[in-house]
Amino acid sequence: MRYLWIVGLSIYVGVVWYLGWQRVGSALAAVDLKMLLAGAAVSALMLWFRSTKWRLALGRESNAVALYFISKAGGGMSPGRVGEFAPLLLREHRTTRVGAWIVVDRLLEGFATIGLGLVALVWLGIPEQRMAITFGAAMVVLVVIPLFVMTRDKLFLRMADKTPEGSLRHRVVSLMARASAEIRRLGTVIPAALVITVLATCGDLVFVILLWGALGYQVGFALFAVIQCAHGITSVLPFAPNATGIPYLVVASLLYEFAGVPEAALAAGMGLTVAIGGVVFWTSFGLGVLSLRRGPAKS
């Protein structure tokens, strides 16, 4: 997984070479730096704003901020975003509560992204039936079904009672029961965490609006909500994590189709999105994981 970024970089270089370096360079030269910096600031603010829900769920003394950045880094680099469970690789943080919270946070993020995308799709009246079906199916598969399954702790307990104690199946089902019970206990923080998630998702849309505005293209909030939803759904596919660049190709194709952004500007915009996102995230990551040096989390 460490080398998936090579795939994304190769795709980007190939696209720029095909379009012509001069055309892409001309689009970059016309960037409004003040608007671009404003977008970067919004991106950083939303990144840290999201970490507050981890502190809310796990507690102030749990190294929650560091775990958040580790989870986000792992998710962006891994197929199906399974790397979001990377905090569980740290022995002192391998707890049922941390695992349960990662599941809950993934469901909240999926609900906010897909929900805004569906609302925006209806609002704009985009006549794309396949897109609406895809968004709706994603909401069911990625949010509704997992939420239903992961809150059935009594069902898992009954299944555990019917399996031989000590067997692999018994251990797995028992773990699911404990995780399900922990998810139910997290219910008290979910409303506040959902508000934070929705606000942060809206902030992400403000970032991309400012970025493309810096390139001279005014794209509305609702259209970006649809586009970001498509990006999010693509990024959870096992063969298309963000590191491969495929989700960004989806964004570019939708901007080309619905916003009329020319190809050279699309290449410039995708490059800026990845570059700014990378600088903001990895700088924040470095600062965030410093908290791990203060010792293990308190249970």
Q: What would the mean pLDDT of 270-294 be, rounded to a whole number? A: 87
Q: What would the mean pLDDT of 162-166 be, rounded to a whole number? A: 79
Q: What would the mean pLDDT of 242-270 be, rounded to a whole number? A: 91
Other Cβ atoms less than 10 A from the Cβ of 60: the count is 10
Q: What would the mean pLDDT of 190-208 be, rounded to a whole number? A: 96
Characterise 154 by phi-psi region: left (phi > 0), alpha (psi -120 to 50), beta (else).
alpha
Predicted TM-score (pTM) of this structure: 0.89
Q: Residue 76 above 90 pLDDT?
A: no
Q: What would the mean pLDDT of 48-61 be, rounded to a whole number? A: 91
Q: pLDDT value at position 153?
A: 81
List, as one string, the DSSP characters of 97-160.
HHHHHHHHHHHHHHHHHHHHHHHHHHHHT---HHHHHHHHHHHIIIIIHHHHHHT-HHHHHHHH
Q: If pLDDT is split at 50, 70 and 90, which confidence band does 2 have? A: low
Q: pLDDT value at position 207?
A: 96
Q: Residue 238 above 60 pLDDT?
A: yes
Q: pLDDT value at position 172?
A: 83
Q: Residue 48 above 90 pLDDT?
A: yes
Q: What would the mean pLDDT of 65-93 be, rounded to a whole number? A: 89
Q: pLDDT value at position 293?
A: 56
Q: pLDDT value at position 297?
A: 45
Q: pLDDT value at position 159?
A: 83
